[in-house]
Structure 1
Amino acid sequence: MPRSNKNTASKPLVNLTESVAFRLLLIGNLLARPFIERIAPQYDLSLPEWRCMVVLAAEPGLSNKEISERTGLDAMSISRALRRLNRHRRLVVVSHPIDGRRSINKLTEAGLGIYIEIATSAAQRETEMLSGLTVHDVKAIVRVLEQIERYLRLDRSC
């Protein structure tokens, strides 16, 4: 029989709260909080819908699969978000000009207008968030995040 340890009940065997992965999740949650608390209700917009809008504003005409690849969200979440954007006339789905079997997504004028309003505010918030960092610090953060992203895109064991 294993020995009982008085600390086992109050302390986990492995503390992940200081891990890089946990901190990245925490930062993601903190970054999303203003969106969830203010922007989502104001625009009747979910976070997956917003993520779709972000990539479609940058690259109009993406397929559902391409949006999924760029956002890291699963296909079902993308499909639901795009259907809702389409229902609210923020997105139009059209046939690909060359491959008519394939559908592509584009923001409507209304969708693009909402994107611009939210993106302007998001860019200001990012500027404020990074204001205490040097250009070198920001470049280092971006470089490390790119390395982590590359690894996670290749690692299918998670």
Structure 2
Amino acid sequence: MTLETVSVPAHAPLELEHFLPYRLSILSNTVSQSIADEYQGRFQLSMTEWRVMTILARFPASSATQVVERTRMDKVAVSRAVARLVEAGRVDRGTYDGDKRRSVLQLSEAGWAIHDEVAPLARAHERELLGKLSEDEKAWLEKILDKLLG
């Protein structure tokens, strides 16, 4: 049997370079990694840990489940990040009204100290990224993101 006699089904490969979910993922990874490079080395903080910390800064006394809901990150990844943050003394874990089945998380003083150093770096990266866009493009981007996430 030769290659000429073998029937090859027609394929329509997905052109990832034009596929919106892929492009958004690449953009997200690129932007997130550029910010992460700054805090990972200085604070031995993973991207997931930083995201958990930002949620707890914005929404104190959240549960791990609430962190998962707000970030849409994987439950296991959040659980591991929370465990590392608690172990490192960056997050305090308490109970909700003494109910041991319901834990609440909040940044510790050490967690706030790291947050207060990293957050301005993150904002600077955002300003740099958005600086590539005109004011109209920024407004449209905001509208488009709201629509796609809504």
Normalization by structure 1: what TM-score?
0.82
Who is 2:120 aligned against?
120
**CA displacement at 1:137 relative to structure 2:** 2.0
| Aligned-partner residue type, residue 14 of structure 1 | L
SS in 1 for 2:118: helix
**CA displacement at 1:98 relative to structure 2:** 6.9
Does residue 74 (structure 1) correspond to residue 74 (structure 2)? The answer is: yes
Q: Larger helix proportion, structure 1 or 2? A: 2
Who is 1:20 aligned against?
20
What count of residue pairs does the alignment treat as equivalent?
145
The answer on whether the counterparts of 2:62 and 2:104 sit within 8 Å (CA) in structure 1 is: yes
Which gives a bigger RCO, structure 1 or 2 (Cα 8 Å, sep 6+)? Answer: 2
The answer on whether the counterparts of 2:35 and 2:125 sit within 8 Å (CA) in structure 1 is: no
Q: Output one character per residue of 1:45-78: Cα deviation in whole Å (capped at 9) or x when no partner.
A: 0111001001111010100100001111111111
What aligned pairs does 1:57-96 form with structure 2 within 5 A after superposition? Answer: 57-96=57-96
SS in 1 for 2:28: helix
Distance 1:117 1:3 in 2: 57
Q: 1:2 to 1:119 in 2, by over 3 A?
A: same
Question: Which residue, 3, 7, 10 being the options, matches 1:2?
Answer: 7
List runs of 5+ in structure 1 lacking aligned partners. Answer: 151-158
Report the RMSD for the aligned CA atoms in angstroms.
2.1
Percent identity, please. Answer: 28
Who is 1:154 aligned against?
none
Distance 1:56 1:136 in 2: 32
Distance 1:81 1:46 in 2: 8
Who is 1:31 aligned against?
31
List runs of 5+ in structure 2 lacking aligned partners. Answer: 1-5
The answer on whether the counterparts of 2:62 and 2:105 sit within 8 Å (CA) in structure 1 is: yes
Distance 2:30 2:79 in 1: 26
What aligned pairs does 1:32-51 form with structure 2 within 5 A after superposition? Answer: 32-51=32-51
Single out whichever of 129-138 and 86-95 deviates more from structure 2: 129-138
Who is 1:135 aligned against?
135
SS in 1 for 2:101: coil
Distance 1:90 1:15 in 2: 43
**CA displacement at 1:114 relative to structure 2:** 0.4
| Aligned-partner residue type, residue 62 of structure 2 | L
The answer on whether the counterparts of 2:56 and 2:62 sit within 8 Å (CA) in structure 1 is: yes
